[in-house]
Chains A and B, each alone.
Chain A
């Protein structure tokens, strides 16, 4: 992939914002006990930004990720994804939004073991109703982007952890989503593979993709352009250089 010169778009204007959270809360109820995982989070992420959200376990980090990924809905507040209000959508409508707008990269890779690499990559396109021939072409292209052209017919079990995560990144890319959401993408990898994946993230960022990376690892977070700390359900905006102060 050739490094293309990208212009960093202006931050904070709602015209080109990918993510707009307004006083979002999330309360979990277990019987009579209510636990507030998010206590009023407002956040704007612009097109082309590379943002890391860092926080210890129990900080509300996973909840925020679920809401950003439209896997869960906020208890109150508004969430606009690429200008579309997704706060009150039905489950089926959310599935469609996830398919069209978001690419996920998980810590556990979450590849289907019975399918080959390219079949895993084409899965989101299957749900989008893309014809077979086009699916194959696009998934091959995505696998080429992550440097796995020679492994397309391998099953996940025949690939190393780093290669599996690259397949997962290809799967996140293949739909050309507005947002790529990575949840601890390096958590299960050795340092060499982790560096590989982070380099891939950098390349995606350079090619103009919007990335949100969720991690507890300050080193991983420092790869991004903007670091947000989360603690006790509240966001703290931080400069990359002050990452340490969040912990």
Chain B
């Protein structure tokens, strides 16, 4: 008997018990859909984080205030001190001391309320210098960015992110308009709007790179942020000359800052330098752990589905004992019977896998609007799911199939 005939017989076996076959398939279907969705969710989250971090600019190092040891010997928590100053920024900008650093942008930031006419919007206000645009790898959609003159003059000018512009002005031309910033309502004039990065449309506005307002750092320090030390900055963004110079730039900045801060032991550094790469790997490793965990749970449901296939195939063998006996009487060898039941089990597995993949795609289309996170379905995950489903069908079909193959024809025919 040819494989084609065996296949036809197997399909027939599945089709002649539609309800039971469907229920069996359901177990695999749910398992495969769960695996595809959890893996897709994990990959989607990773993609989102990566694009958010990439949006910070390329070849960028970010220096943030680190833990510091006060003169009394008390070690303070990470980021609690304002250890970075404009003096650091000027030093890092020196082509002699840090030749591999292309541009430096100091950043001060805080969350402030913006008022423009009747619109109110709370967003991140960043104070910086003209080099911010390059370091962040951004472009302007209209108007101009803040320039050196603005920084020198403490000018009351601002550049808006695309989201902020549309929230405040609702389609009106924002350039030339006035926005009142902060609790004391400092009026600033909008001089430009940044191009949308389009990388994130998620509901969490804090991570939206298009939702911000940029003002000259001097204006921010003097009029908006206030605080005790007007010379300190929240963070410093460095751009290396190329991705190959990133390590060199890192070492130069590290060395320079240790020297400036008068720290002799590297482990006592009162700042932290992070690269885009290290941010991505930290973020992805968290997502990765979560994906493995969820994937594991989904995998267990797949295993349960497989046991379901085995259970049904065993029932099927018992129930069709007469059919098996008859087929044997008519000349089916044990090998042919075994193949027939293996084909049935693999068809169940494969159909379950295909329907599960379909359900996964449907879920990936509709779930993000509920969950709020993107789900990425990779073709590899799809093919993998199908292969796994088929393998489960075969693996859990082997035992029932060999039971069927070894039934004695007379015992099988005798059963009423």
Give 1 or 0 for each of A146-171: 1 = CB within 8 Å of chain B CB.
00000000000000000000000001
Interface size on B, residues (CB 8 A): 24
Known: A114-B12, A115-B12. A127 touches B410 (CB 8 A): no
Does residue B242 face the partner (Cβ distance < 8 Å to A)?
no
User: In the assembly, what is the distance between CA of A98 and CA of B409, in Å?
Assistant: 11
Checking B322, B331, B332 against A110 with a beta-carbon cut-off of 8 angstroms, the contacting residue is B322
A129 and B333 contact, CB distance less than 8 A: no
Does residue B16 face the partner (Cβ distance < 8 Å to A)?
yes
A106 and B1 contact, CB distance less than 8 A: no
Kindly list chain A residues whose C-beta atoms are within 8 Å of the C-beta of B9.
126
B331 and A66 contact, CB distance less than 8 A: no
Kindly list chain B residues whose C-beta atoms are within 8 Å of the C-beta of A91.
333-334
Q: Which of A88-109 contact B (CB under 8 A)?
A: 91-92, 95-96, 98-100, 104, 106, 108
Interface majority SS on B: helix, strand, loop or mixed?
A: helix
A127 and B413 contact, CB distance less than 8 A: no
Does residue B336 face the partner (Cβ distance < 8 Å to A)?
yes
User: In the assembly, what is the distance between CA of A91 and CA of B323, in Å?
Assistant: 17
Kindly list chain A residues whose C-beta atoms are within 8 Å of the C-beta of B102.
none
Does residue A11 face the partner (Cβ distance < 8 Å to B)?
no
A100 and B410 contact, CB distance less than 8 A: no
B333 and A92 contact, CB distance less than 8 A: yes
A99 and B330 contact, CB distance less than 8 A: yes
Q: How far is the CB of A82 from chain B (nearest CB, A)?
A: 15
Q: Which of B188-227 contact A (CB under 8 A)?
A: none
Kindly list chain B residues whose C-beta atoms are within 8 Å of the C-beta of A113.
16
Of listed A98, A106, A127, residue having the most chain B CB within 10 A: A127
B331 and A112 contact, CB distance less than 8 A: no
Smallest CB-CB separation from B326: which chain A residue? A110
Smallest CB-CB separation from A111: which chain B residue? B326
Does residue A124 face the partner (Cβ distance < 8 Å to B)?
yes
Q: Which of B302-356 contact A (CB under 8 A)?
A: 322-323, 326-336
Does residue B153 face the partner (Cβ distance < 8 Å to A)?
no
Does residue B71 face the partner (Cβ distance < 8 Å to A)?
no
A126 and B1 contact, CB distance less than 8 A: yes
Does residue A196 face the partner (Cβ distance < 8 Å to B)?
no
Q: How far is the CB of A127 from chain B (nearest CB, A)?
A: 4
Q: How far is the CB of A32 from chain B (nearest CB, A)?
A: 21
Kindly list chain B residues whose C-beta atoms are within 8 Å of the C-beta of A104.
329-330
Does residue A27 face the partner (Cβ distance < 8 Å to B)?
no
Kindly list chain B residues whose C-beta atoms are within 8 Å of the C-beta of A195.
none
Kindly list chain B residues whose C-beta atoms are within 8 Å of the C-beta of A69.
329
Known: A71-B413, A72-B410. A100 touches B331 (CB 8 A): yes
User: In the assembly, what is the distance between CA of A95 and CA of B412, in Å?
Assistant: 14
A129 and B2 contact, CB distance less than 8 A: yes
Kindly list chain A residues whose C-beta atoms are within 8 Å of the C-beta of B332.
95, 127
A98 and B327 contact, CB distance less than 8 A: no
Known: A112-B326, A129-B2. A71 touches B331 (CB 8 A): no
B331 and A96 contact, CB distance less than 8 A: yes
User: In the assembly, what is the distance between CA of A132 and CA of B336, in Å?
Assistant: 18
User: In the assembly, what is the distance between CA of A98 and CA of B327, in Å?
Assistant: 11
Kindly list chain B residues whose C-beta atoms are within 8 Å of the C-beta of A108.
322
B335 and A123 contact, CB distance less than 8 A: no
User: In the assembly, what is the distance between CA of A188 and CA of B9, in Å?
Assistant: 28
Does residue B172 face the partner (Cβ distance < 8 Å to A)?
no
B331 and A128 contact, CB distance less than 8 A: yes
Smallest CB-CB separation from A102: which chain B residue? B329
B333 and A66 contact, CB distance less than 8 A: no
Smallest CB-CB separation from A135: which chain B residue? B5
13 contacts between A and B (CB under 8 A): A66-B410, A71-B328, A96-B331, A98-B331, A110-B413, A113-B16, A123-B330, A126-B9, A127-B330, A127-B331, A127-B336, A129-B1, A171-B330
Residues of B whose CB lies within 8 Å of any CB of A are: 1-2, 5, 9, 12, 15-16, 322-323, 326-336, 408-410, 413
Q: Assuming A108-B322, A112-B323, what are 7 further A-B pairs, CB within 8 angstroms?
A: A72-B408, A72-B409, A95-B332, A110-B329, A127-B327, A127-B330, A128-B331
- 8 pairs of A and B residues whose beta carbons are closest in the complex: A99-B331, A114-B16, A127-B331, A92-B333, A95-B333, A124-B330, A110-B326, A71-B409
